[in-house]
Structure 1
Amino acid sequence: MSKLIRVGQQLRLAVALPILALLSACASIGPGSMNRDRLDYAEAIGSSWKQQMLLNIVKLRYADAPMFLDVSSVISSYQLQSQVSLAGTASTGLTAGLRDATGHALAVGASGMYTDKPTIAYTPLQGDKFTRSLLRPIPPAALFQLVQAGYPVDLIFQLATRAINGVYNRTDRPSGSREADPGFYQVLDALRRLQLSEAIGFRLEKRGTEETSIFAFSGNKRNPSVEQDSLFLRSTLGLKPDARELNLTFGTVPRNNQELALLTRSVIEILRELGTRAEVPLSDVQSGSVLPSPQPRPDSGPRDLPLVNIYSATEPPANAFVAVQYSQHWFWIDNRDYRSKSLFSFILLLTSLAETGVTPQAPVITVPVN
């Protein structure tokens, strides 16, 4: 009798353990998986976005064609199947399984299957969307919206503009490099001081059927340094001496002395500028596969240094903010270089600002409900 009781206990345990294991797996499906999946996918998408951007900067450095893939949708589908079986047989010989005192063999079995099938849709950036996002110059109003959000105006303009009212920025493009005009960096410094003093502003106005962007000086004569910077900007940029509000427009030169004309760069142009200053292996320069980096002049100042420091080596880096492999070498941004990290992250934001118009619809995906 005691053997029969012991066999029954073993049977119940054999049936209960697989069921409990399957029920514990169910606890992580549905609402329980949201925190884990959302954070994991967000981290993975962000990391791949950084790697894609750095890789395209390096490819442009090597005169290679860039390629962008957008993650248009992520769908995580789970499936759980379980089966429990119980069977009994009578046998006089030795059998596998649990045997009671009368010689009967008892067999118990359980099976389970857990499937995680994520569906990720990618959309190549090409055609009109490629033109809008990467080839068209960034709208001047978008840059000033970043200024209003607190981003440093001097770094924004140094990175994303070619000229302000005909005063040109530095460029290192292989097709034609040039130094910045004498007054360009001074204009950036004055704008930054006015921004810190909250003496400049930006707003959008509806004039008839068109939306007009207004750049305004809000400084007053009670602050001599603010007024001095305002007068310097008006003089250097050819603005009306007593102008307090300026129409903001895209172009090389303004139509009159009450207009602020920004000749902005496209995203591709920004990436090419950054790629030109990226460090490359000497062997690649000697072989002719890439042009050497432009050498700084003896009188170069801090603003003539690369905005983003990109390093290269044959071995993978130990402490990288983002790293990619190209042409049998590693390229990376150091995690301890805060300025380069922040500027690189800002470029990712610029790619979103450059997108205009209606975004193409992602492919329609049918997911079975289990």
Structure 2
Amino acid sequence: MGRSLPSLGGTGRYGNGGRYLVTALLSAGFLFLGGCQPIGPAHLQHDQLAYSRALGEVQKREMLLNIVRLRYGEPPAFLDTTQVIAGYNFSRSFSGGYYGYPASAVSNYLFGSGTLSQAENPTITYQPLTGEQYAENVVRPISPTAIMPLSLGGMAIDTLLRLTAQSIDGLSNVRGVGPFGGGSVRFYLLLHDLRQLQLAGAMTVRIATDDASSSSGKAGKQGGGGSQGNNGGNGGSSGSSASSGEHIYLVLTATADSNLQAIQGEVRRLLHLDANAAEAEIVYGPYPKKEGQIAILTRSMLAMLTQLSYEMEVPEKDVRSGRTLPTIGQVGIESRPEVAIHSGKNAPDGSYVSVYYKKCWYWISDTDFRSKEAFTMVQVLSTLAATSHSGGAVVTIPAG
């Protein structure tokens, strides 16, 4: 009879179960390699939000730092993140086998190896704001046609105008430095009345693209007079109606509430409008050029940030040493600034945004909703002012 050779499983260390071990090894390898799934969707779900949050935090800190720098006599600097490219490399490999010897061999053995590697290589591109773009985005006043529609989105009109308007029909907002900051009491009374009407739905803003001939017929009691040429003096860096023919109107909507009617009457009186005016065109400038218009002299981003800087809290020793000027103690009829910025030697707990500048911390409290809302408005206005800005940050995530 012939002599038979032992099977692959043989009588070695693994006995007759060797074939099962081979099967298990091959199965594990196939699972290891076959489990490769596209990594793009998984990274997109995580990284898009992660980069968005990171960019948002950086923009908040940059804005707060510029406010602090202005307080200490330094110019603001803006560095835009123009592009974010996140590249990923992912690889797997597996090898293995089973050696089986005749019964006389010392042993049978199973072997295998695998590798897994992953790498991320983000590239972030920054662009400083300089030259004409700096003048357009930071130095030039923002047009009322860009500011007023924000109230339609729910932004408080009193906060919005306190931040952006230097004067309304000759009624002056707080300006410059000093213990009280100046400002007309009637300016703040007007803002208070407008806010009450906004909350009650008795005031709104209307946007139109009327030409000079059609809008001139709205003068008088409707208060919609003014031509495109008048708006050509907007001087704002964004939303200029001189080129688009866009007009913005303050509308006092009809109401049967006697209290709201009284407030509307006071608004008309403060704005020198006709007693029956239902709406009035808003134009840029210190005073209206035609009867029935509302003139708003708006601020630039630089003026807005400078004003906020002189309302912030700074260490008293910095004032005594001459490093900076005293903080404005009273803003109009308000006892607090629109954005309350605190200072201290130690890092704050639970801040909305904070920065470290020359051995001192500056922050906005996370529990101060009014300051957070106003600070958010400042960021929105900064974006609106950037008319000559190239496209926003581009996030590219190649994955395959």
Calculate the TM-score normalised by the size of structure 1. Answer: 0.83
Give distance in 1, aligned partners of 2:398 and 2:131: 33
Listed as ranges, the matches of 1:273-288 within 5 Å are 273-288=307-322
Q: Hey, what does 1:351 align to over in structure 2?
A: 382
Residues 22, 112 of structure 1: 8 Å contact kept:
no
Residue 116, structure 1, aligned to residue 126, structure 2: no
Deviations 1:301-358 (A, max 9, x none): 4x2421111111111111111111110111111111121112112211111222224x
Give distance in 2, aligned partners of 1:275 and 1:228: 37
Residue 360, structure 1, aligned to residue 390, structure 2: yes
Q: Hey, what does 1:214 align to over in structure 2?
A: 249
Structure 1 residues 365, 146: closer, same or farther in 2, change over 3 A? closer
Residues 164, 261 of structure 1: 8 Å contact kept:
yes
Farther off after superposition, 323-332 or 236-245: 236-245
Listed as ranges, the matches of 1:19-30 within 5 Å are 26-27=36-37, 29-30=39-40
Residue 332, structure 1, aligned to residue 363, structure 2: yes
Q: Hey, what does 1:196 align to over in structure 2?
A: 199
Deviations 1:85-122 (A, max 9, x none): 458999xxxxxxxxx94468876433332111122222
Residues 175, 182 of structure 2: 8 Å contact kept:
yes
Q: Hey, what does 1:50 align to over in structure 2?
A: 60
Structure 1 residues 8, 185: closer, same or farther in 2, change over 3 A? same
Q: Hey, what does 1:272 align to over in structure 2?
A: 306
Deviations 1:219-257 (A, max 9, x none): 35x432222222222222222333222121000011122
Question: Which of the numbers 221, 224, 233 marks the counterpart of 2:267?
Answer: 233
Structure 1 residues 59, 364: closer, same or farther in 2, change over 3 A? closer
Structure 1 residues 228, 369: closer, same or farther in 2, change over 3 A? closer
Question: What SS does the corresponding residue of 1:290 show, helix, strand or coil?
Answer: coil
Residues 313, 342 of structure 2: 8 Å contact kept:
yes
Q: Hey, what does 2:339 align to over in structure 1?
A: 308
Q: Give the letter aligned to residue 312 of structure 1.
A: S
Q: CA deviation at 1:27?
A: 4.2
Q: CA deviation at 1:167?
A: 0.7
Q: CA deviation at 1:42?
A: 1.5
Question: What SS does the corresponding residue of 1:229 show, helix, strand or coil?
Answer: helix
Give distance in 2, aligned partners of 1:144 and 1:46: 24
Q: Hey, what does 1:73 align to over in structure 2?
A: 83
Question: What SS does the corresponding residue of 1:207 show, helix, strand or coil?
Answer: coil
Question: What SS does the corresponding residue of 2:185 show, helix, strand or coil?
Answer: coil
Question: What SS does the corresponding residue of 1:240 show, helix, strand or coil?
Answer: coil
Residues 214, 247 of structure 1: 8 Å contact kept:
yes
Question: What SS does the corresponding residue of 1:129 show, helix, strand or coil?
Answer: helix
RCO comparison, higher one (Cα < 8 Å, 6+): 2
Q: Give the letter aligned to residue 337 of structure 1.
A: D
Q: Hey, what does 2:160 align to over in structure 1?
A: 156
Give distance in 1, aligned partners of 2:150 and 2:200: 17
Structure 1 residues 18, 310: closer, same or farther in 2, change over 3 A? farther
Task: Could you tell me which runs of 5 or more consecutive residues in structure 1 were left unpaired when the two chains were aligned.
Answer: 91-99
Question: What SS does the corresponding residue of 1:277 show, helix, strand or coil?
Answer: coil
Structure 1 residues 183, 119: closer, same or farther in 2, change over 3 A? same
Give distance in 1, aligned partners of 2:260 and 2:392: 50
Q: Percent identity?
A: 30
Q: Hey, what does 1:166 align to over in structure 2?
A: 170
Residues 86, 397 of structure 2: 8 Å contact kept:
no
Give distance in 2, aligned partners of 1:158 and 1:366: 39
Q: Hey, what does 1:31 align to over in structure 2?
A: 41
Greater Cα radius of gyration, structure 1 or 2? 2
Give distance in 2, aligned partners of 1:158 and 1:368: 45
Q: Give the letter aligned to residue 360 of structure 1.
A: S
Farther off after superposition, 248-257 or 191-200: 191-200
Give distance in 2, aligned partners of 1:19 and 1:58: 60
Give distance in 1, aligned partners of 2:84 and 2:188: 44
Give distance in 1, aligned partners of 2:152 and 2:398: 46
Q: Give the letter aligned to residue 385 of structure 2.
A: A
Task: Could you tell me which runs of 5 or more consecutive residues in structure 2 were left unpaired when the two chains were aligned.
Answer: 1-10, 212-243
Residues 18, 111 of structure 1: 8 Å contact kept:
no
Give distance in 2, aligned partners of 1:364 and 1:2: 62
Aligned residues: 355
Listed as ranges, the matches of 1:241-280 within 5 Å are 241-280=275-314
Give distance in 2, aligned partners of 1:195 and 1:365: 38
Q: Hey, what does 1:184 align to over in structure 2?
A: 187
Structure 1 residues 354, 363: closer, same or farther in 2, change over 3 A? closer
Farther off after superposition, 9-18 or 186-195: 9-18
Give distance in 2, aligned partners of 1:22 and 1:53: 49
Listed as ranges, the matches of 1:120-135 within 5 Å are 120-135=124-139
